[in-house]
Structure 1
Amino acid sequence: MRAIEATGKIDKQGNLRLDNPLLMREKNVKVIILLSDEEEQEEKLWMKAMATNPAFDFLHEAEEDIYKLTDGKPFHD
């Protein structure tokens, strides 16, 4: 058995709607639904809120860009 990963959403009628069509001929398939954890969703919302919060706009100013890629020493674990 071969696995293909695809993303999608379940609509209000309970139908699975894929984000992109599968490029294959008609076939019988077995579907396993993996739901995202609520924590994962909350973390994404939190990160998006921080990234778009105008309180951090000052970080885009040239005076705040004090480090270069050549600063520091590489860390190899």
Structure 2
Amino acid sequence: MKAIEIKAVTNSDGSISLELTGLKGGISIRVLILSEEDELDEKNYLKFISNNPSLDFLNEPEENVYTIKDGKPDL
């Protein structure tokens, strides 16, 4: 695996555009985003994790292991 660091600035809509990487086209890559902001606000954090395919397994029926009998409501 090869690591390449590329600094970028987000576009006004929150998307990013990358410059040429030196890699050949058509290969799979992973992108890790390290923001210089302290934290994502809650709305954006929830949007990010709800669209994250690495958490899709939580929607599987076998992951639904708790019932209302497992705890007290937080009032």
Query: Does TM, scored on the shorter chain, surpass 0.5?
Result: no
TM-score by length of 1: 0.38
Q: Give the greater-gyration-radius structure (CA).
A: 1
1 or 2, which has the higher strand percentage? Answer: 1
TM-score by length of 2: 0.38
